[in-house]
Amino acid sequence: MERFKNNLIVRIAALLLLVGFIAFCSWRLMPQVTHLFKNPEQFRTLLLGFGDWSRAVFIGLQILQVMAAPLPGELIQIAGGYVFGVLTGTLLSLLGILLGSLMAFYLARWLGYPLLQALISQEKLEHFHDLLNTNRAEVIVFVLFLVPGAPKDILTFIAGATPIPSGHFFLAAMLGRFPGILVSAFIGAQLEKHQYFLAGVLGLAAATIFLLGIIYHDRLTAFLARHHRHKPQK
């Protein structure tokens, strides 16, 4: 009994640290980070100033934006393409997001479902928990991570508190994320080459799809819920 209480205290302390970390990033870091990404040359100068560590710093930013969702993930991905090019920028973003997602997933799995209620609204938590707790969870994860506007980082936390196998989740999630990351890096690379028309067209298309994803996100998840609600995982 004493061991259980100590373990619970440690988990609650970890949860409080996570909440404090997210609040700090939202309050202090997001405005500065957003400003830097709106000034790509300034960001490139700052990032490349780390020399051989520049790629590691960029990966760290991607980890941070997964763990502290208010940070602008799309802007970081565009900046990666601007600084490192399409291929390297895409690979670095994928690696950083994967590492951040691993941390979020296993932290949630360690904290447990009840403690996640302190981080995520009960309605959203139950909704996505039910979606991910089916024998078609991998398909649902892929669709939700493919569609822009879905709360991907929150979904990663919730997934950690469901029975979905971690390998299946990360394969589906990263495959779903890949097209968006690639397009963002490509937009960044075009901006660096001063191909503003192409970057603008792609950016407008991406923004339109993102907006549609937000507008129709609830309908999509409702459809998925109806289609899979009678297929719980064993």
- State the burial class of residue 186 (Cβ atoms within 10 Å of its Cβ: 0-12, 13-18, 19+): buried
Residue 184 contacts residue 81 (beta carbons within 8 Å): yes
CA gap 179, 146 in Å, rounded: 8
Give CB contacts under 8 A, 24+ apart, made by 52-57. 54/83, 55/84, 55/88, 55/92
Nearest to 215 by CA among 143, 147, 133: 147
pLDDT confidence of residue 127: 72
Tell me the HSE value of 146 on the side-chain side, using a 13 A CA sphere.
12
- pLDDT in single tens digits along all 234 residues of the chain: 555 455 656 666 666 676 666 666 555 556 666 666 667 777 788 888 888 899 998 998 888 888 775 666 788 888 899 999 999 999 999 999 999 999 889 888 887 767 677 667 777 777 777 777 777 778 888 888 888 777 788 888 888 888 788 888 999 999 999 999 999 999 989 888 888 777 778 777 777 776 766 666 666 666 666 665 544 444
Q: The whole model's pTM is what?
A: 0.79
In whole angstroms, give the CA distance from residue 180 to residue 175: 10
pLDDT at 231: 46
Question: Which residue bears the tokens 């100033």?
Answer: 49
